[in-house]
Amino acid sequence: MPDRFGPRGVFAVIIPQQNANMQPEYERMRPDGINNQMYRFDISDHDRVAEAVLKTVPTTLGCFPDMIITGNSIEMRNWSVDRQRQYCEQIAALTDGVPVVTATDATENALKTMGAKRIGIVSPMSEEYSKSVQEYYESAVEIEVPYASWLQVKESKDIINVSVEKILEAFKAIDHDDVDAFLHVGGALGITGMLEELEQKLGRPIVSSNAATYWYALRKHGITDPMPGFGQLLMRTEISG
């Protein structure tokens, strides 16, 4: 519920404990009047991320949130539209009616809001994870995803140390004339502060997981403040659905 430090709302944000960039990124994007409360789960077992998140969800009720956000790109792990629906139902059963936004649903809506039809993807880990993302969004949003680049980071804890140069190279690798937008998944990469500059260089919008997730949560909560400095998406005041 709104409190003295968050008169416009309290957001419980669930992030991996290994991702040191995500808390400051969410705080940089936070508008006046919102109180972000951070909760963490262990992402070290890459095959049991969903279970780790579900275990953490009930603890978030302790801050009396108006919104619960799960801030990880779970679609990197052999995911499907049906599995996402089931996952959201599992989360909802644990929240005592508090609204929930997942990074995956937020990213899907962001792509629709930006009118993306043919995109390239940047992901931080393996080719296998990248292919899972391609297949997921081709099915969920019914868009074409012909290009992908991945940074081959083996452990989640190491993603935060990827250099800016390597991130730029990854985007350049998918910079083809026939794409109308770019998608970045994997919140630990930490590029929210780079989005405006990257979009200027590429000449097209970027949907980035952390920015998309927080944007979607704010809009679902009824906050329509434009958020300059974080790319084109965060200047959109309305969501597609």
Whole-model pTM: value is 0.95
Sorting pLDDT into bands at 50, 70 and 90, what band is 46?
A: confident
- Rounded CA gap, 173 and 158, in Å? 21
Q: Could you read off the pLDDT of 125-142 as tens digits, one per residue?
A: 888 888 999 999 999 998
Residue 125 is predicted with a pLDDT of 87
Residue 181 corresponds to which tokens in the numbers above?
């937008």
Cα→Cα distances 81→108, 139, 187, Å: 11, 7, 20
Q: Average pLDDT in the 34-59 region?
A: 94
Tokens 């992901």, residue? 123
Place of tokens 């906050």: 223
In sequence order, the β-bridge partners of residue 120 are 147, 182
Rounded Cα distance between 71 and 220, Å, is: 15
pLDDT, tens only, 76-113: 888 999 999 999 999 999 999 999 999 999 999 999 99
Confidence at 65, pLDDT banded by 50, 70, 90: very high
**Paired tokens of 32:** 């006046």
For position 43, what pLDDT does the model report? 87
Q: How many whole angstroms separate alpha carbon 155 and alpha carbon 55? A: 22
Q: How far apart are CA 187 and CA 227, in angstroms?
A: 19
Longest dimension (CA), the chain: 49
The pair of three-digit structure tokens given for residue 35, joined into one six-digit string: 């109180």
Burial status of residue 71 (CB atoms within 10 A of its CB: 0-12, 13-18, 19 or more): buried
| Burial class for 103, CB neighbours closer than 10 Å (0-12, 13-18, 19+) | buried
Kindly tell me if the per-residue pLDDT of 241 is higher than 70.
no
What are residue 219's phi and psi, to 5 degrees? -65, -40
